[in-house]
Amino acid sequence: MKEQYKPLFESFTFKSGVQIKNKIVMAPMTNYSSHEDGTVSEDELHYYERRAGGVGMVVTACIYVSPNGKGFSGQFAGDRDEMIPSMSRVAASIKEKGAKAVLQIYHGGRLCPAALVPGGDVVSASAVASEQNDGIVPRALTESEIESIVLDFGATTRRAIEAGFDGVEIHGANGYLLQQFFSEQSNTRDDRYGGDIDRRLVFPLAVVDEVKRVAAQHAKEPFLVGYRFSPEEATTPGITMEHTFRLVDELARKELDYLHISLMEADSLPKRGAEPIKSRLEWIQERVGHLVPIIGVGSIRTPDEALRTLDVVPLVAIGRELIMEPDWVEKVESGQEEQIRTKLSRSGQADLTVPTPLWEMIVRPTNWFPVGD
């Protein structure tokens, strides 16, 4: 490899003791390819196998922890013990190629399609609709239901341990249930789970505590726990950088293995709650990076862009680029970065080992991939 890219290939050890062979992470991406019963498909396994040979760690697509938390067709399930054999196949497919396997766990909340949840009963922090799920007004969860979902996150963590995963990533980003409780746009409650920012934090922090408790109780080997979040929302009211600073302050006290920032552009600037004199990533690294490792992500296409992100934070996640170029890491490591694919051929699905449901999403006219003929 070229000398300047060596920092990308240094090993990294998390607080839990989990060590990864390099500082490149496969970002979590929905692939829409599991069976209707929530079990993983062969195509999905091959998709992970194809991409797990180069990166240090793979964070899977999100797995739902409660029956009413399924947010996508073709999503794999972690809400019951019958799913452990299926989950084990995902973990094994990743680990056999040399990467650590991290399961992203979540509840979709008000973003779940009514057709995918029992009785069409879509739930959230409050009865506030989302533009992303048109025509659905969710039902506000009761306090006992909230407590039950907290336990569901713990139970799925136990299943992840039994299935052989090296860790879990709590999905508190992209408008899903944990974010719905944290945001004043979607949380209008007046009980202990809503109101001021202290109470809007109660549910997300309870999930963190339960996941860590279960990991400590059940994991016999080093097992990491991370947390993903979105730093801002476009709505007013909604999450601002000022709110996020409070969130990361609290998360940093939880002795998590990492924080993973959900960004479309790694170098994007704040809109509200912080001066746009440096990127969101830089603000958060400055705030808590000395306490908890930060993973940077967001349209990192080239090794030079990955290096620039690594100048800010200790770990770099790559998403779409690993769909378009499964050998991205290997090509950089072997000094063949000029051979990295920058366009998809419409006839290249088999070569790239992309499941058909994901491929059909990619090649739509409105997709965000550069697609050639």
Residue 193: pLDDT over 80: yes
Model pLDDT, residue 156: 98
User: Cis omega (within 30 of 0) on the bond before 7?
Assistant: no
Mean pLDDT computed over 355-370 = 86
pLDDT tens string 322-335: 999 999 999 999 99
* Structure-token pair, residue 170: 């709590």
pLDDT tens string 254-288: 999 999 999 999 999 999 999 999 999 999 999 99
Residue 350 lies in a domain: no
Mean pLDDT computed over 15-38 = 97
Give the percent of the chain with pLDDT over 70: 99
Residue 360 lies in a domain: no
Model pLDDT, residue 372: 66
Residue 342 lies in a domain: no
**Model-wide pTM > 0.95:** yes
Out of 48, 106, 176, 227, the active site residue is: 176
Residue with tokens 């990619």: 362
* Cβ partners under 8 Å of residue 321, min gap 6: 300, 301, 328, 340
CB of 60 within 8 A of CB of 48?
yes
Specify whether 176 is catalytic. yes
Looking at the 3D structure of the chain, how many domains does it have?
A: 1
Model pLDDT, residue 87: 98
Residue 357 lies in a domain: no
Give the percent of the chain with pLDDT over 90: 94
Mean pLDDT computed over 345-362 = 92
Residue 333 lies in a domain: no
Residue 204 DSSP class:
H
Residue 369: pLDDT over 90: no
Residue 347 lies in a domain: no
Residue 1: pLDDT over 90: no
Model pLDDT, residue 340: 95
Model pLDDT, residue 345: 84
pLDDT tens string 229-240: 999 999 999 999
Identify the band that residue 343 occupies on the pLDDT scale cut at 50, 70 and 90: confident
State the sign of the Cα–Cα–Cα–Cα dihedral 194, 197, 200, 205: negative
Q: Give the chain's mean pLDDT.
A: 96
CA 176 to chain centre: 11
Residue 235 lies in a domain: yes
CATH number at residue 55: 3.20.20.70
Model pLDDT, residue 373: 59
- What pairs with residue 103 in β-bridges? 168
Q: How deeply is 290 buried, as exposed, middle or buried, from its count of CB atoms within 10 A (0-12, 13-18, 19+)?
A: exposed
Mean pLDDT computed over 283-308 = 98
Residue 362 lies in a domain: no
pLDDT tens string 97-145: 999 999 999 999 999 999 999 999 999 999 999 999 989 999 999 999 9
Residue 21: pLDDT over 70: yes
Helices marked H in the chain — which ranges?
42-51, 84-95, 143-163, 177-182, 197-200, 202-218, 241-252, 280-288, 303-310, 320-324, 328-333, 349-352, 356-362
What's the domain range around 313?
Answer: 3-325
